[in-house]
C-alpha cells in the first residue's frame, strides 16, 4: 500500500494536522518539527493522493478562457471545444467561463486581464494579441500567482506558464517545403494570404515560409503579403484581384483564416491555370476544397487538443504539479486528401 498521511504522522511522531501543514507549506510549524516530518515523507516515499485532497478541499477550478470574437470557422471550432470542456466540467471539477474580446485589439484584452486580476480565477487561458501592453498585463497576473497559458497564438517575451499551440515557424517552413516539392522545381510567383501581422502566429508562419522558400526553392519568388483580416469577403476580393493581375502565380499559401473567400477566388480562376495551394486549418470549407483538388495540403492545429491541454496545464500549475511534456506538445497536423479524419 502507498503510505498515507497517517503513516507520516506515526513515523514523525506528530499529528495529522501538522503533517498537513508541512505538506501544504502552511505556516505555524517549528523548524525542527517541519524537518522531522519532511524526513518521514522522504523515507516513506510519500506521494499525495490528489483526488483525495481535492475531495476534502471540495476544490473546484474556476478557469477563464479569453477568446477573440472572430467570425471564422477556426474560432468557432475553438469555441465549440471550450463549450465541450464546460460540459465535462462537473467531472473534472472545473468551472470554465469564457470572455469574448474584439480580435486584434490589445487594449480590450488588457482591460479584461486587469479585471481578472481582481477576480483571481484559478487560471486563465487566452488567445494572445501580441503587444507589449498585453505582455505586461499577463506578467502581472503571473507575478500574482495566477496560472496563465496562451492558446493558438503566443505572447512574445512574456512569463506565461505555457503555450498551447503549434510551432508556427515550423508550420511556415513545412508549408514552404510542401509547396516547393509539389511544384517540383518549376519557376514562378507565390502568393501569400495572411490575416494580420498583429498576431504572432501569422507573423511566424510567414517568417518560416519565406526563409525556406528563399533558401531552398530559389526558382520561386514571393509576392507581397495579402492581408485579409481573416475575413472571407475581403480575402476573396484581394485574392481574385491578385490572380488576375499577377499572371505568374503558380502557388498560394494561405496562412490565416477566412479560407472560404480564398477558395471561391481559386475556383473562379480554376480554368486559367494549375495552382498548387497550401492552406491552414481544417474546416468544412477547406476539407471540401482538399477533396476536390482546389487545395493540395492543409496544415492544421487540433483545437480540441489545445483546449484540453490548456486545461490540464492550468490545473497542474494550480496544484503545483508537473505536466507530461509529450502530452502537451501540440502537433502540426498535415492533411492530404488521404488522411482526413
State which of residues 10, 48, 92, 337 lies at the interface with DNA (CB under 7 A): 48
Place of cell 494570404: 193
Is position 316 an interface residue for DNA (rule: CB under 7 A)?
no
Q: Which of 35, 39, 57, 219 binds DNA (CB under 7 A)?
A: 57
CB 172 within 8 A of CB 207: yes
Task: Supply the minimum distance, in Å, between the C-beta of residue 63 and DNA.
Answer: 19
- Please report, in angstroms and rounded to a whole number, the separation of the first and last CA atoms in the chain: 43
Lay out the sheet containing 123-126: strands in order across: 94-101, 61-68, 123-126, 148-151, 162-164
* Closer Cβ to its own copies, 90 or 102, answer by number: 90
DSSP reduced 3-state for 341: coil
Residue given cell 484584452 in the structure block = 109
Residue 293-312 contact track with its own copies, rule CB under 8 A, x = bound: ---x-----x-xx--x----
Please say which residue, 5 or 238, places its beta carbon nearer to DNA: 5
Decide: is 320 part of the binding site for its own copies (CB under 8 A). Answer: no
Asked whether 176 and 209 are in contact (CB, 8 A), the reply is: yes
CB of 182 vs DNA, minimal distance in Å = 55
Contact (Cβ atoms closer than 8 angstroms) between residue 294 and residue 274: no
CB nearer to DNA: give 51 or 324: 51
Q: Which of 6, 13, 17, 55 binds its own copies (CB under 8 A)?
A: 55
User: Judged by CB under 8 A, which stretch of 33-41, 139-147, 227-235, 330-338 contacts its own copies?
Assistant: 330-338
* Contact (CB, 8 A) for 147 and 314: yes
Q: Are 43 and 12 in contact (CB under 8 A)?
A: no
In contact, 189 and 246? CB cutoff 8 Å: yes
Taking the C-alpha atoms of residue 82 and residue 100, their distance in angstroms, rounded to an integer, is 12
What does the alpha-carbon distance between residue 280 and residue 37 come to, in Å, rounded to a whole number? 54
Residues 6+ apart with CB under 8 A from 273: 250
DSSP-derived 3-state class of residue 339: coil
- The separation between CA 162 and the C-alpha centre of its own chain, rounded to angstroms, equals 9
Pull the grid cell for residue 179.
Answer: 509547396
**Closest to its own copies by CB, 32 or 91:** 91
Based on the shown chain and the rule CB under 7 A, indicate whether residue 23 belongs to the binding site for DNA.
yes
Q: By CB under 8 A, is residue 49 in contact with its own copies? A: yes
Does position 29 interact with DNA (CB under 7 A)? The reply is yes
Task: Choose among its own copies, DNA, none what residue 57 binds, the Cβ cut-off being 5 to 8 Å by kind.
Answer: DNA
Between CA 64 and CA 177 the distance in angstroms is 38
Q: Count residues near its own copies (CB under 8 A).
A: 43
Site string for DNA, 253-282 (x = CB under 7 A): ------------------------------
Selected from 33, 54, 98, 196, the binder of its own copies by CB under 8 A is 54
Of 94, 116, 26, nearest to 307 by C-alpha is 94
Q: Which residue number, 93 or 337, has a Cβ lying nearer to DNA?
A: 93
Cell numbers given for 40? 518521514
What binding mask, one character per residue, do residues 190-229 give for its own copies by CB under 8 A, x or -?
Answer: ------------------x---x-----------------
What cell numbers appear for 340 in the block? 482526413
Binding of DNA by 122 (CB under 7 A): no
Stretch that binds DNA, among 15-23, 84-92, 218-226, 284-292 (CB under 7 A): 15-23
Contact 202, 196 (CB under 8 A): yes
In the complex, the residues that contact its own copies under the rule CB under 8 A are 2, 47, 49-52, 54-55, 88, 90-91, 167, 170-171, 173-174, 176-178, 181-182, 184-185, 208, 212, 296, 302, 304-305, 308, 324, 326-327, 329, 331-334, 336-339, 341
Amino acid at each position: 500500500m502507498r503510505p498515507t498521511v497517517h503513516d507520516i504522522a506515526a513515523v514523525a511522531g506528530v499529528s495529522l494536522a501538522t503533517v498537513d501543514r508541512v505538506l501544504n507549506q502552511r505556516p505555524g510549524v517549528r523548524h525542527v518539527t517541519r524537518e522531522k516530518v519532511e524526513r518521514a515523507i522522504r523515507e516513506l516515499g510519500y506521494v499525495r493522493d490528489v483526488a483525495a485532497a481535492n475531495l476534502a478541499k471540495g476544490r473546484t477550478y474556476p478557469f477563464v478562457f479569453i477568446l477573440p470574437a472572430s467570425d471564422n470557422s477556426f474560432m468557432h471550432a475553438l469555441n465549440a471545444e471550450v463549450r465541450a470542456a464546460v460540459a465535462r466540467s462537473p467531472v473534472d471539477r472545473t468551472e470554465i467561463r469564457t470572455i469574448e474580446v474584439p480580435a486584434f485589439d490589445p487594449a480590450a484584452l488588457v482591460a479584461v486581464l486587469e479585471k481578472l486580476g481582481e477576480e483571481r480565477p484559478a487560471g486563465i487561458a487566452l488567445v494572445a494579441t501580441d503587444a507589449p501592453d498585453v505582455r505586461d498585463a499577463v506578467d502581472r497576473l503571473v507575478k500574482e500567482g495566477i496560472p496563465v497559458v496562451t492558446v493558438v497564438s503566443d505572447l512574445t517575451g512574456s512569463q506565461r506558464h505555457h503555450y498551447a499551440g503549434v510551432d508556427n515557424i515550423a508550420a511556415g517552413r513545412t508549408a514552404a517545403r510542401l509547396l516547393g516539392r509539389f511544384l517540383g522545381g518549376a519557376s514562378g510567383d507565390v502568393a501569400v494570404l495572411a490575416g494580420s501581422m498583429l498576431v504572432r502566429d501569422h507573423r511566424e508562419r510567414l517568417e518560416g515560409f519565406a526563409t525556406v522558400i528563399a533558401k531552398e526553392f530559389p526558382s520561386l519568388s514571393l509576392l507581397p503579403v495579402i492581408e485579409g483580416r481573416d475575413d472571407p469577403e475581403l480575402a476573396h476580393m484581394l485574392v481574385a484581384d491578385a490572380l488576375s493581375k499577377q499572371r505568374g502565380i503558380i502557388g498560394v499559401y494561405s496562412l490565416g483564416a477566412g479560407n472560404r473567400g480564398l477558395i471561391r477566388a481559386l475556383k473562379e480562376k480554376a480554368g486559367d491555370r494549375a495552382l498548387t495551394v497550401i492552406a491552414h486549418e481544417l474546416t468544412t470549407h477547406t476539407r471540401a476544397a482538399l477533396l476536390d483538388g482546389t487545395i493540395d495540403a492543409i496544415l492544421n492545429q487540433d483545437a480540441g487538443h489545445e483546449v484540453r491541454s490548456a486545461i490540464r496545464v492550468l490545473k497542474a500549475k494550480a496544484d503545483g504539479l508537473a505536466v507530461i511534456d509529450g502530452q502537451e506538445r501540440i502537433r502540426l497536423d498535415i492533411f492530404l486528401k488521404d488522411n482526413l479524419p
